[in-house]
Structure 1
């Protein structure tokens, strides 16, 4: 019988595209974005409890959010919360968790998942996960989960696979970052592209060997410091180690370079909840396509997202495809698909004061 996998939840992001609701002091993964009574992080934990015990979870997060993880997941012991001194993207983050687990149980199966995704049709989801775990038992294989696209989405990365290259695990041919609309339509029409979910499955040995081959500088640092894992020297080691790492994604640093990458196709409902528009797509709407959270009156307004935390009555007239979001001390009004400018919004808001970000 296959042993239960370790679950690594990545929860260190800023969530700037959900500003002003998501703030640096409490990013979106720590918020009840969907109104379920559970935060996105808690929902991710709840989901994977179906296949793993509490002691098999690790949450890796930015050091300033450790207290939030402890607050929201009291089931976890301190050693299960991995603290990053700096944000260096997903490659160092995943490597840290991978070497940590490898030091505990070499060859263990691992599932890497973001903390802020929406997954529905969980029966189909776990079917894909179980297929991925099975495929990952072949040494050196790196497995990713691809989502069958239903529209030419420009907000997701894409994976092209080799058709007929396997029964369930298909050989990956290319990775493509977020494409323009024309290219996304071409991908959709071709039939051999899937959305990159950012979820990975592998054995710890497969990850370590891949890092040694494709990211030797990073691998060397962790290999030499493995004796620090599980001791009171671990925080100091990690602080020094992160000064040596580049800011690099696991897709670019590892997955695009390896010839041992395979994809499991998933046909469950999935969203990375990366923006207000992605949230608008999944929320219940009125007859004009509007999502309203809070007390509002709308006139001649269509396909918009109106949200207010306060008791103020929000009156909106004449908008289409717009976001109106009031949270604490910030009121944001912009096109609903304007997430590409959110980093600029946050950067400029900081000039007005740290309380605004």
Structure 2
């Protein structure tokens, strides 16, 4: 097998494409021949040693992938060789083969392409857990999605619309706003025009007729958090999803008091481990929604697995709409 090996987590440039022994699965594992793997923001952080999970060195990055099972380890009863699955295990995806925990593998139904499957679990599980479980989103409520043209943002638009909500998508260009509208957003905000320290609050107020959004989905953080929280509706729920802009914001705690609002943490990774039955039920719901055409990953482009460094450069430019996927 071949894989991108991280022996020194100082950044993307240190990754090397190397030939490695093809491993045999241990107890509870399966060996996959990887068909496709997607890029996620944590994949960049982990090779820079900036992510909360720090795997032992050396490791193969690539948190999310899809492929065909070649061999199963001891104790694996629900999966078999030849079966196609998707998996989000945190590492291992940027190569030709990997060992995956059988418990984390999502069996793929017929007609679920590998490229879509490799771009599916993280963004839809995160967004569904956030909006439906943590925010208890109801039909008719208004959701403001920040970073709406990115991977989790595009998933959040689709899941909120499937739940019957009104969606305001905020992103950084007119082109991205148009894309969000195509995905179902009812209104858009270009925050290059309506900046956080400028007219953003006025535009949110205008689009919500002074009420504010019931739910805010925020994978961006930074300068957006305080002005957006100040705009939230009474009993609003502010979903802390991530900090793609870099800085982790600090909010004055009088704001949730005055708004009767909640700051709600979203950590799908720990939810999946602490509440595996609830997570498995959620994944079945998401697979059914995919089959009905209610949700579908937005994949901007696919690249050969050998072009991982170029893919990271594209992702780092913030120009990506949806997801980048590497294919073998």
The answer, yes or no, to whether TM exceeds 0.5 is no
Compare relative contact order (CA 8 Å, sep 6+) and give the higher one, 1 or 2: 1
The TM-score with structure 1 as length reference comes to 0.28
TM-score (norm 2): 0.30
